[in-house]
Amino acid sequence: MSEFIVVGFDDMFEADRVLSVLLRLEKEYLIDLEDAVVAVRRPNGAVTLKQSVSPMAIGTASGLARGALWGGLIGLLFLAPVMGIAVGGIAGAGVGALAGSAVDYGIDDNLIAQLASTLKPDSSALFLLVRKAQPEKVLAEFSQFKGRIIRTSLSPEQEKRLEEALASRREAPQPVAA
């Protein structure tokens, strides 16, 4: 089961920075993100959403695989498996792209819009669906950012640890210029 986490930031660009760190951690196999969305509330009040997972790409990839499989099987029946795979793969990619664009994958868009509309101007939020993570290493990275928890599905203990990681940056003394 995935965990849902929404963290708000007082800076328009901070959610993007945090997502960049999380994507690096994902490449290091320290976190497995199912979905991530950055919401930015501009100074004029307009909300911009940046999806990190493209439903089109998911549909195209799965459609390509299914099309190649079925094309290969049909081609095998007619003694032309290579041609069947090629034609089936192309057709499957097209059908998969259409299906993928029609499916709402990941975090509910209505929930994102509802929570993003509560952000103050010049701020951002990061919406995450996390399949699994190495909590100590991920929380250590979170401690370099200043944010606040807006909503989570975490246990009370996990939520407290995340809040403490985000608070550690807020309470850290700022360097004094000499």
Number of domains making up the chain: 2
Q: Give the Cα separation of 77 and 86 in Å (integer).
A: 15
Give the position of tokens 């990275």: 141
| Distance from C-alpha of 141 to C-alpha of 135, rounded to nearest angstrom | 10
Asked if 26 and 114 sit in the same domain, the reply is yes
Q: What is the 3-state secondary structure (H, E, C) of 90-148?
A: HHHHHHHHHHHHHCCCCCCHHHHHHHHCCCCCCEEEEEEEEEEECHHHHHHHHCCCCCE
Last residue of a domain, one of 102, 136, 162: 102
114 and 43 part of one domain: yes
Which range of residues forms the domain containing residue 76?
A: 55-102
- The answer for 132, left when phi > 0, alpha when psi is -120 to 50, beta otherwise, is beta
128's tokens: 């995450």
pLDDT of residue 1: 75
Q: Which of 119, 172, 127, 169 is nearest to 152 (CA)?
A: 127
In terms of domains, do 146 and 112 share one?
Answer: yes
- Kindly state the DSSP code that residue 178 receives in the 8-state scheme: -
In a domain, 36, yes or no: yes
Q: Across all residues in the chain, what is the average pLDDT?
A: 78
Segment 94-142, tens digit of pLDDT = 555 554 444 456 888 899 989 998 999 999 999 999 999 998 999 898 8
Residue 43's pLDDT band (cuts 50, 70, 90): very high
Residue 143 domain-assigned?
A: yes
Q: Does one domain contain both 77 and 119?
A: no
Residue 178 lies in a domain: no
Lowest-confidence range among 12-16, 123-127, 145-149? 145-149
Q: Sort 158 into a burial class: Cβ within 10 Å, 0-12 / 13-18 / 19+.
A: middle
